[in-house]
Amino acid sequence: MNVTQMLKHCDLVLQIALKKIDLSPVNALFGTIGRITKIEMQIFNNGIPRNMPTFQKLIVNFECNFDEAKEGLLKTLDNYQLTCQNDMLPDFHILFGKMKEKDWGFLEYKHLDHHLKQFNV
């Protein structure tokens, strides 16, 4: 993944909270691991675990235009902020389970922080 693909990937991940992307169900084992990971990250303020599997829909392995990817991510961030302000975030994530606004914010922040640091941007 390059920087442009990372921007597009982060955009897609944010779209889950906006209900624009539906993820495939996970089996009970992955669901349990996801819920434990969410709790562990919150308790210890950890980042995204290394080599955590990615849903197929969120993998960006195609070429993207940098300016379009950047603008798309910024637009999605604005939409995410409006969705938060209007208290319209989903109350469930297919991997992480029950979600409150603070859960979405924490996990979205950790995900963006992980990738921005990964690429030194």
**Extents of the domains making up the chain:** 3-118
Q: List per-residue pLDDT tens for the chain, 121 residues long.
A: 999 999 999 999 999 999 999 999 999 999 999 999 999 999 999 888 877 889 999 999 999 999 999 999 999 999 999 999 999 999 999 999 999 999 999 999 999 999 999 999 8
Picking from 62, 32, 58, the residue whose alpha carbon sits closest to that of residue 111 is 58
The token pair that represents 33 in the structure block: 């691991």
pLDDT at 48: 84
pTM of structure: 0.93
Identity of residue 77: L
Asked if 111 contacts 48 with a C-beta cutoff of 8 angstroms, the reply is yes
pLDDT at 35: 96
